[in-house]
Amino acid sequence: MASLWGGRFEKDMDDIVKKYNASIFFDQRMYNEDINGSIAHVTMLGKQGIVSNEEKDQIIAGLETIRKDIAEGKIVFTVEDEDIHMGIESRLIERIGDVGKKLHTSRSRNDQCQVDTRLYLRKEVYEILNSLCYLENVILEKAEKYADQITVGFTHLQHAQPITIGFVFMAYFQMFKRDIERLSDALKRLNYNPLGACALAGTTMPIDRHLTSELLHFTAPTENAMDAVSDRDYSLEFLSDASISMMHLSRWAEEFAWWNSSEFSYIAIDDSFCTGSSIMPQKKNPDIAELVRGKTGRVYGALMSILTTMKGIPLGTALAYNKDFQEDKESVFDAIDTWKATIDIFAKMLDKTEFRMDQIEKQLGKGFLNATDIAEHFAKQGIPFREAHSIVGHMVKACENKGCDFEDLTDEDLQAIDKRVTKELLGDISIKTCVNARVSFGGTAPSEVRRQIEVGRQWLNSLER
């Protein structure tokens, strides 16, 4: 079959070239965007008198029949189509005849593929933002549920200070909040219209790029045609945002795997989010958490792939469009699918995960979690913090020697460490009292976590959706 661009050729492409060159197998997922772009384009051509009104209507009607047939699976694209742009245009000509040949006036596949990719990415960005908001909702609900529940806070994989579980949830909430803000910000730069940039240098035809921008809900046409066909930094921005967010998800997934381990047993992941072993009958493995970690590598790979593709493509030496650019799509599509699915599954897994407070409580007595609180308590009584730190350090030593807790130290033990310290001065040093007192802004006290939840909820509700 002769290609739409075949005029100056004497031979058909070799079969292996066709296959290697084609993007139809992956870019057909943008068929709706391609048709929407074409409809906006021909509407503008009609308005500008470049095609007649009647021709415009015929082209739009033809495109709509193609849209319907693709949706119903009645059109099967093959390697002969090369890409979605020609796949649709050639069918349009088949169906409506010569009028169809006017659609590609003042347009190139170079700007067309960019219109499609930007429209497609925009649609997916909205979906991902929705998914992230759903995740944030689940986090807020869990944070509320576990606002008062105390767990062990670690540094260096050592028991450090007591914290509330709600506090941990709200830490992750902040990360995904920034992911949402970053992605919303990327949308501002993504949403520009390359249509009418043509091959690289614009056109002699009297087109109106502002009109197509309006029709396609872009903010404005891209300012420079050469930049329009060769810019892929909107994809890179998307992939950077995806990578950062996957990193956040992966960190939490790693935490899930730890919490779920036999040693920790802090959580019970719902059976429906675990898998078994084909040989060890007792196993219930946190495969989903592990896959989240694994898939993060895949999204980083997409970012690296396009960064590397782009680094050697100059503009000024008339190389504005290079076929290298065709490689922009698969990585972006894969990252979209992976990121979106990961957020959704993670949110559902989180929703179905319960903390095993009986297991966690067993750990709270270990590791002198309230040591810092006691030092701060002494500091409040006028002992300089450095001295208070040293006194509590000696108390830890004394406890270790006696094999007891702070509460079990006698007045004699305390006086031997420092004359200023008595059991009375020590006061109530229960873990709960200590946690409740961590009310500094951003701290772990339940009252402070509830404030964070409130602010978080207000922010989430304020987002336009």
CA distance 239 to 286: 27
Q: Is 394 a catalytic residue?
A: no
Question: Do 206 and 50 form a contact (C-beta atoms < 8 A)?
Answer: yes
Q: Rule CB under 6 A: choose which of 110, 191, 245, 331 binds ligand ARG.
A: 110
Smaller CB distance to ligand ARG: residue 61 or 318?
318
Residues with Cβ < 8 Å from 372, sequence gap 6 or more?
A: 161, 392
Nearest distance from residue 322's CB to ligand ARG, in Å? 8
CA distance 69 to 259: 50
200 belongs to the binding site for ligand ARG (CB under 6 A)? no
Which listed range, 29-37, 48-56, 109-117, 391-399, lies at the site for ligand ARG (CB under 6 A)?
A: 109-117
Give the pair of three-digit tokens for residue 254: 């790693």
Smaller CB distance to ligand ARG: residue 110 or 250?
110
Residue recorded with tokens 């169809």: 100
Q: How many residues interact with ligand ARG (rule CB under 6 A)?
A: 10
Strands 192-193 and 220-221, bridge-based pairing: parallel
Query: What is the helix (H) or strand (E) element at residue 354, kind and residue range?
Result: strand 354-355
Which listed range, 91-99, 106-114, 136-144, 172-180, lies at the site for ligand ARG (CB under 6 A)?
A: 106-114
Strands 158-164 and 150-155, bridge-based pairing: antiparallel
Q: Rule CB under 6 A: choose which of 55, 81, 83, 89 binds ligand ARG.
A: 83
Q: Is 277 a catalytic residue?
A: yes
Beta bridge partners, 193, equal 221
Question: DSSP assignment, residue 464?
Answer: -
Nearest distance from residue 8's CB to ligand ARG, in Å? 14
Q: Rule CB under 6 A: choose which of 172, 176, 218, 321 binds ligand ARG.
A: 321
Give the pair of three-digit tokens for residue 395: 């108390």
**Interaction with ligand ARG in 5-44: which residues (CB under 6 A)?**
23, 27
Q: Rule CB under 6 A: choose which of 113, 143, 147, 168 binds ligand ARG.
A: 113
Question: Do 177 and 459 form a contact (C-beta atoms < 8 A)?
Answer: yes
Smaller CB distance to ligand ARG: residue 83 or 124?
83
Which listed range, 92-100, 216-224, 322-330, 331-339, lies at the site for ligand ARG (CB under 6 A)?
A: 322-330
Smaller CB distance to ligand ARG: residue 26 or 264?
26
Smaller CB distance to ligand ARG: residue 113 or 143?
113
Which amino acid makes up residue 254? Answer: E
Nearest distance from residue 72's CB to ligand ARG, in Å? 24
326 belongs to the binding site for ligand ARG (CB under 6 A)? yes
Among the listed residues 52, 217, 261, 277, the single catalytic one is: 277
Among the listed residues 156, 272, 278, 440, the single catalytic one is: 156
Which listed range, 10-18, 96-104, 292-300, 321-329, lies at the site for ligand ARG (CB under 6 A)?
A: 321-329
Beta bridge partners, 153, equal 161
CA distances from 22 to 14, 32, 156, 448 (A): 12, 19, 51, 57
CA distances from 7 to 13, 80, 93, 321, 330 (A): 13, 16, 16, 21, 30
Using alpha carbons only, give the angle 270, 276, 278 rounded to the nearest 5 degrees: 175
Residues marked active site are found at 156, 277
**Contact residues for ligand ARG (CB under 6 A)?**
23, 27, 83, 109-110, 113, 321, 323, 325-326
